[in-house]
């Protein structure tokens, strides 16, 4: 159950991050778009690390 909720959160964060990055780049804010991409990558790494740890436990 927790694993499914975590995957749902990861999908939501990814969709929101991609939308934010596209909107910022579309306005010409390249640096803000790169910052959003970096934050998205960090959250993905942390999320997948937690998912892997939960799968190994159960």
Which domain does 12 fall in, by range? 2-57
First to last CA, the chain: 11
Query: In whole numbers, what is the pLDDT of the chain averaged over residues?
Result: 93
Residue 58 has pLDDT above 80, yes or no: no
Residue 32 has pLDDT above 90, yes or no: yes
Q: How many domains does the chain have?
A: 1
Average pLDDT over residues 24-32: 95
pLDDT at res. 27: 95
Spatial CB neighbours of 58, under 8 Å, sequence gap ≥ 6: 3
Average pLDDT over residues 32-58: 92
Residue 57 has pLDDT above 90, yes or no: no
The answer to whether the beta carbons of residues 32 and 24 sit under 8 Å apart is yes
The answer to whether the beta carbons of residues 9 and 51 sit under 8 Å apart is no
């Amino acid at each position: 159950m927790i694993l499914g909720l975590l995957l749902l959160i990861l999908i939501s964060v990814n969709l929101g991050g991609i939308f934010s990055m596209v909107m910022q780049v579309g306005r010409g804010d390249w640096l803000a778009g790169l910052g959003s991409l970096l934050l998205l990558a960090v959250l993905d790494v942390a999320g997948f690390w937690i998912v892997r740890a939960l799968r190994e436990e159960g």
